[in-house]
Amino acid sequence: MKSVRIALLATGLVACSTACGSSGTSTSFEPGKVNVAAALYPIEEIVRAVGGSQVSLVELIPPGEPAHDYEPTPRQVTDLESADVVFYFGGGFQPGVEKAVASLPSSVRKVDLLKSVKLIAVSQQLAGTEGAVDGEVLGDGSDPHVWLSPTNMQLMVEQVRATLAAFPSFDEPSADTGAASFTSRLAKLDADFRSGLSSCVSRVIVTAHRAFDYVAHEYNLEQIAIAGVSPTDEPSAKTLEAISRSARDHQVTTIFFETNLPAELSKMIANEVGAATAVLDTIETLSNKQIADGANYVSVMQSNLAALEKALVCS
Ligand SMILES: [Zn+2]
């Protein structure tokens, strides 16, 4: 994928320094393949697993960028216009991406993967904390973070397989093989979560962002989500007080943070509330470092499981 992004940048600089309209021949796609655009890292990984070398994939979210409020660049809009198929999430999850998708010509197949999965309602946010909610709750009140459920990932694999197999140029048996192999890794991941979290001293997780309701729902945990803790600002006294009260009430040993929050801030909050901190990754995106280290959806979910088992004292 890196090579595609570098190629995209290079063409952008050389060929598109003035304008590359939709009528131009220059796009980021390779000729002779099914051209696919994916609006989120987990979708990219599904497309790669199912489509292999038969697809040319353009990623919309650059590594390390938050996914909810991403706005496609003009160059990406040009790519979208020449895609054969776009896989995205609707319902208000990524308003900027959805707007771009809605304006695409009918020649582009648009697949809202949220229609293939089992949605659940969002849980309550921790009282006394408040934060940005853009894309964090779908229009119908359900939770958009469906990819954090290995079961929903399997449903999306099947939708991507069926969509790609419908292209006449696509070799269906190889899509079936790719889909089956990824599905069996996801089924094992689900089984690992189920057994790893079956017997734990605590079942309450305090997270920095209300992203883990699917994990909580499927593996019988309770998520308490903190909001209003930003990577750049110190949390307010009110937020700190709400977090400490909740940590005390639920005898929480660990406050979970995401990779983009500075370690000092996490430590400061942990000291304040008398808890440890650990990272739970939302996998909306992988950082350049994670990609360089060979991380992928399953490996990061396994790290999440290890962090949960430790914090909840599972045996
Ligand atoms: Zn989110």
Domain residue limits, the chain: 2-119+143-191, 199-311
Other C-beta atoms within 10 Å of 214: how many?
24
Q: Is 157 helix (H, G, I), strand (E, B) or coil?
A: helix
Calculate how far, in angstroms, residue 228's C-alpha sits from the geometric centre of ligand 1: 13
- May I ask the CATH class of domain 2-119+143-191? alpha beta
For residue 122, the CA-to-ligand 1 centroid distance in Å is 11
Q: Are 88 and 102 in contact (CB under 8 A)?
A: no
Please state, in angstroms and as integers, the Cα–Cα distance from residue 1 to each residue in 91, 165, 276, following that order.
27, 22, 36
Please spell the DSSP secondary structure of 167-226, one letter per residue: STTS-HHHHHHHHHHHHHHHHHHHHHHHHHTSSBS--EEEESSS--HHHHHHTT-EEEE-
**Ligand 1 center to 290 CA (angstroms):** 19
What is the Å distance from ligand 1's center to 5 Cα?
A: 24
**Residue 197 tokens, joined:** 């979290």
pLDDT at residue number 160: 98
pLDDT per position in the chain (315 positions), as tens? Answer: 333 333 333 333 333 333 333 344 478 898 889 999 999 999 999 999 999 999 999 999 988 888 888 899 999 999 999 999 999 999 999 999 999 999 999 999 999 999 999 999 988 788 777 766 667 889 888 999 999 999 999 999 999 999 999 999 999 999 999 999 999 999 999 999 999 999 999 999 988 888 999 999 999 999 988 877 777 777 888 888 888 888 888 888 898 988 777 878 888 888 888 889 899 999 999 999 999 999 999 999 999 999 999 999 999
CA dist 170 and 163 (Å) reads 10
Binning the chain into helix, strand and coil, the percentages to the nearest 5 are 45, 10, 45
Q: 198 exposed, middle or buried (CB, 10 Å; 0-12, 13-18, 19+)? A: exposed
Q: Which pLDDT does position 39 carry in this prediction?
A: 94
How many Å lie between the centroid of ligand 1 and the Cα of residue 68?
A: 7
Distance 59 CA to ligand 1 centre (A): 18
- The rounded Å distance from CA 64 to ligand 1 centre is 14
pLDDT, position 133: 64
pTM for this prediction: 0.87
Residue pair 110/80 in contact (Cβ under 8 Å)? The answer is no
Question: Residue 277 half-sphere exposure, CB side, CA atoms within 13 Å?
Answer: 20
**Beta pairing, strands 204-207 & 109-112:** unpaired
Assigned CATH topology for domain 199-311: Rossmann fold (3.40.50)
Fill in the amino acid letter for 125: Q
